[in-house]
Chain A
């Protein structure tokens, strides 16, 4: 499969680009419409966090082939300020109460697997996988 792996996030419109690329990949992998919408929303959320808090970064896609299943992996990374208290941002009600949207707990719900690495002052990398059902 010809695969353009990454979308750079520098401006708000890039969020749309990341969604578009993610949706195309999801369609190719055979995700249904509901899952496509969920993946696109998760990508939005991740890309938006980069745009709002780090200023720039990138969202990359990988197809994961395992013996019994196939999935799409979304990797969002930036070299922004990092997250000081990960437990706090992973708490329900933390970002939504401020009206910022679904937040990282939302991304975790939309996807099947979620991993976050962040270092204060160095940046953040979030990996999320959705398996084809």
Chain B
């Protein structure tokens, strides 16, 4: 079939063909004509005009009422034509905005990038996926010469661009802390001051900071209102909530965070997460805690990175590939 041309001659030809034959082929071509018109931003009133002109040429004796009624239709279509143009314009604007956000998201990725460290005796898996383009969750690994491993995990309540901007601030504050400042409670207390001074009171940031010491086989941690993680007892196959109390960052000027210490046994896992994981939604209900832990259990025998990815893919599918909140999950297994 020939390519449809966007002109009066062609329209007249199609119209005539249809009037004579009532052929579906002509209607199909009219459909093509219609699509082409939208592509070329041709408004409906112009098509009606073409129709009137074509009709008059085919039927010079066109009754006045028919002619007038078509003019009436033309008049009635003007606003649709304007809406089409506006739509066109807004669409272009949206595309421009989207690409701007994509650039920003990319920049954020670079700014907040962290290297998953290779530490003897530890198997580490981490995944963080934003619900929209920009991530309001943040995790960061800090390694030191003595092989200790610091793990920071934060979540801005809310998502999108404001959350992402706040996260960059956390990252840079942490970078500016002196290297010997490694105690989880001290780090959270310092960050609390930064957030309290710089962030709008309506914005809350929760955070967990943990420090693994391979020599003592201990995990020290403190939490600023963060979603509790879990300790997995490999021998028993059970989970224990990692309990830690503390105010969210920025709520008061001086906050104190209690620090806890756990002994880590070989084969056991530390599971850290943000509420985007535990608050996965199934239709209009949240996934129950036991259901969630069962999913973790189904994957925990895998290498840590495969496990976090497996869990993510499971919940992604469960939610029809549409995350409602940023999703971050970290699994650390002590291997020897």
Contacting A at CB under 8 A, from B41-89, are 45-46, 49, 52, 71, 74-75, 78-79, 82-83, 85-86, 89
Residues of B within 8 A of A33 (CB): 49, 52, 71, 74
CB–CB B74/A41 < 8 A:
no
CB–CB A40/B75 < 8 A:
yes
Residues of B within 8 A of A41 (CB): 75, 78-79, 82
CB–CB B85/A96 < 8 A:
no
Q: Does A83 contact B (CB under 8 A)?
A: no
Residues of B within 8 A of A109 (CB): 82, 85-86
A106 and B49 in contact, given A33-B71, A37-B78 (Cβ under 8 angstroms): no
Q: Does B6 contact A (CB under 8 A)?
A: no
Residues of A within 8 A of B82 (CB): 41, 102, 106, 109-110
* Whole-angstrom distance between the Cβ of A131 and the nearest chain B Cβ: 17
Q: Does A105 contact B (CB under 8 A)?
A: yes
Residue of B nearest to A40 (CB): B75
A37 and B74 in contact, given A101-B79, A102-B79 (Cβ under 8 angstroms): yes
Q: Does A38 contact B (CB under 8 A)?
A: yes
* Whole-angstrom distance between the Cβ of B269 and the nearest chain A Cβ: 51
Residue of A nearest to B79 (CB): A102
Contacting A at CB under 8 A, from B158-202, are none
Q: Does B90 contact A (CB under 8 A)?
A: yes
Rounded to whole angstroms, the CA-CA distance of A24 and B90 in the bound complex is 34
Residues of A within 8 A of B86 (CB): 92-93, 96, 102, 105-106, 109
Interface residues on B, range: 10 to 19
Residue of B nearest to A41 (CB): B78
Residues of A within 8 A of B79 (CB): 41, 101-102, 106
A34 and B85 in contact, given A41-B78, A92-B90, A102-B79 (Cβ under 8 angstroms): no
Residues of B within 8 A of A92 (CB): 86, 89-90, 93
Chain B 130-165 per-residue mask, 1 if CB under 8 angstroms from chain A, else 0: 000000000000000000000000000000000000
Contacting B at CB under 8 A, from A59-94, are 92-93
Q: List 7 tightest A-B contacts by C-beta distance, closest first.
A: A106-B82, A102-B82, A41-B78, A34-B49, A37-B75, A92-B86, A92-B89
CB–CB B90/A93 < 8 A:
yes
CB–CB B90/A37 < 8 A:
no
Name, among B71, B78, B79, B85, the residue most crowded by chain A CB atoms within 10 Å (CB to CB). Answer: B78
Residues of A within 8 A of B93 (CB): 92
Q: 16 A–B contact pairs at CB < 8 A?
A: A34-B45, A38-B45, A41-B79, A41-B82, A92-B89, A92-B90, A101-B79, A102-B83, A102-B86, A105-B86, A106-B79, A106-B82, A106-B86, A109-B82, A110-B78, A110-B82
CB–CB A37/B45 < 8 A:
yes
* Whole-angstrom distance between the Cβ of A108 and the nearest chain B Cβ: 10
* Whole-angstrom distance between the Cβ of A49 and the nearest chain B Cβ: 15
Say whether chain B's binding surface is mostly helix, strand, loop, or mixed: helix
Rounded to whole angstroms, the CA-CA distance of A96 and B83 in the bound complex is 8
Residues of B within 8 A of A105 (CB): 86
Beyond the given A93-B90, A109-B82, please list 8 additional residue pairs across the A-B interface where CB-CB is below 8 A: A32-B49, A33-B52, A34-B45, A34-B49, A34-B74, A37-B74, A41-B75, A102-B82
* Whole-angstrom distance between the Cβ of B230 and the nearest chain A Cβ: 46
* Whole-angstrom distance between the Cβ of A16 and the nearest chain B Cβ: 13
* Whole-angstrom distance between the Cβ of B43 and the nearest chain A Cβ: 9
Residues of A within 8 A of B71 (CB): 33, 37
Rounded to whole angstroms, the CA-CA distance of A33 and B78 in the bound complex is 12
Residue of A nearest to B49 (CB): A34
A38 and B85 in contact, given A33-B49, A92-B90, A93-B90 (Cβ under 8 angstroms): no
Residues of B within 8 A of A38 (CB): 45, 78
Rounded to whole angstroms, the CA-CA distance of A36 and B85 in the bound complex is 19
Residue of A nearest to B83 (CB): A96
Contacting B at CB under 8 A, from A23-41, are 32-34, 37-38, 40-41
Rounded to whole angstroms, the CA-CA distance of A96 and B90 in the bound complex is 12
* Whole-angstrom distance between the Cβ of A27 and the nearest chain B Cβ: 12
Rounded to whole angstroms, the CA-CA distance of A102 and B86 in the bound complex is 9
Residues of B within 8 A of A101 (CB): 79
Rounded to whole angstroms, the CA-CA distance of A12 and B45 in the bound complex is 25
CB–CB A34/B46 < 8 A:
yes
